[in-house]
Amino acid sequence: MKMKMKTGKMISHKNLGRGLGMALRLAATAAVVFVAMGLSLPGNAGAASRIKDIVDFEGIRENQLVGYGLVVGLNGTGDSLSTGHFTKESLQSMLNRLGVQTTDSGLDSNNVAAVMVTSNMPPFARQGSRIDVTVSALGDSDSLLGGTLLVTPMLGADGEVYAVAQGQLAVGGFAAQGAAETVVKGVPTSARIANGAIVEREVAFEIGDMDVVKLSLKNPDFTTARRISQAINAFLGTLAARPSDPKTVQLHVPDTYRNNVVNLLTDVEQLRVEPDQMARVLIDEQSGTIVMGENVRISTVAIAQGSLTIRITETQQVSQPGPFAEVGETTTVDRTDIAVDEGQDKRLTVFNDGVTLQDLVNGLNALGIGPRDMITILQAIKAAGALQAEIQVM
């Protein structure tokens, strides 16, 4: 059987198989090259981060709001009005505004609690949009379960009202108490209201009219700032970005993005750069937590760690006279057992010059050193000048 082409030439099965085999080999070679390139690129892409994840854009930020209000409808778990003077005064003031004349003797309810209401107003929040609020008890209330927050103005740092909160509280904890037992789960004096505040005033900020946008690095670094500016300039094809300090990169809006800064930031924030970091060791002495960066290096140093442990055990034993003794009495005497561990099984370990973080961790673990002793050792290595990193105590 033969196949006829348009040119009139005939191709046999043998030639056809040879051509298909060569095509398959070329395809396989191309696939290997493609896979090799694919394997090499994600390695760098995995270490790189998007610009939007390592910087903050100027003006795009949250604003904190705070307010003071009253929660009503509590089941006997509110503030004690006899001792909570600000709760009583707030309740009287609210009732007076509603046309109800009250007296001190008439206010003995324990179903009201004074609370502080906090929230973060997101950037570009428009009038009429809703935000979440957190409600926290201010007085001696035992629980806010089942309460309702009354209208509460939310103030900004400038003293202006930006939102008004009100709604049913959602409490994540509860408290139950009996004659001899008390059970508390979570924090019953703190609650949230989803979409509990309505924005009444907007924060004036026009991003479309900006000529220069400042990018603020979350972790200031000269190298990272330079890499960000280089990535942006390579994408835009012009010298539009320039680092002014390790914290800030100034981006001049090109003519192609004039009056369209949103598209510019959308394109820029998706660019990937590899952030650089200082060699740093973070120590939290309260919890014994140690965090070491990748670039931490150790010069040649010898480490030995041994601790003296003295364990004293006190026990009481009963001493009594013999069965037929004429004198004596039964009494208790103290018995003391003292055990001393001098840490003689600890060994001296040598760390060569330029060891990596993994070598350091493995060596210290080989000595059987806990986090508390490791903190002291790292500080001693730094004092000896062998730790090529900065130690920061949290």
- Cα 44 from chain centroid (whole Å): 25
Q: How far apart are CA 210 and CA 253, in angstroms?
A: 8
363: Cβ contacts below 8 Å, ≥ 6 apart? 303, 349, 351, 355
For the entire predicted model, the pTM comes to 0.65
Q: How far apart are CA 383 and CA 289, in angstroms?
A: 20
**Highest mean pLDDT: which of 226-235, 259-268, 318-327, 340-349?**
226-235
Mean pLDDT of the chain: 78
**Highest mean pLDDT: which of 92-96, 228-232, 275-279?**
228-232
- Asked if residue 43 has pLDDT above 70, the reply is no
Q: Which residue has the tokens 């010059």?
A: 353
Biggest alpha carbon distance in the chain?
136
**Highest mean pLDDT: which of 10-24, 28-42, 223-237, 317-331?**
223-237
- Helix then strand count (H, E) for the chain reads 7, 26
Q: 188-234, pLDDT tens digit by residue?
A: 999 999 999 999 999 888 887 889 999 999 999 999 999 999 999 99
**Highest mean pLDDT: which of 103-107, 162-166, 303-307, 333-337?**
162-166
Say what the pLDDT of residue 312 is: 59
Span 22-42, average pLDDT: 36
- Asked if residue 15 has pLDDT above 60, the reply is no
Residue 358: pLDDT band (50, 70, 90) is low
- Structure token digits, residue 90: 């707030």
- Asked if residue 14 has pLDDT above 50, the reply is no
Residue ranges per domain, the chain?
63-199, 212-273, 281-319+331-393
Question: Reduced to 3 states, what is the DSSP secondary structure of residue 38?
Answer: helix
Span 357-375, average pLDDT: 71
Q: How far apart are CA 364 and CA 45, in angstroms?
A: 33
- Asked if residue 271 has pLDDT above 50, the reply is yes
- Asked if residue 370 has pLDDT above 80, the reply is no
- Asked if residue 8 has pLDDT above 70, the reply is no
Whose CA is closest to 265, among 293, 232, 298?
Answer: 232
116: Cβ contacts below 8 Å, ≥ 6 apart? 66, 67, 68, 135, 136, 138
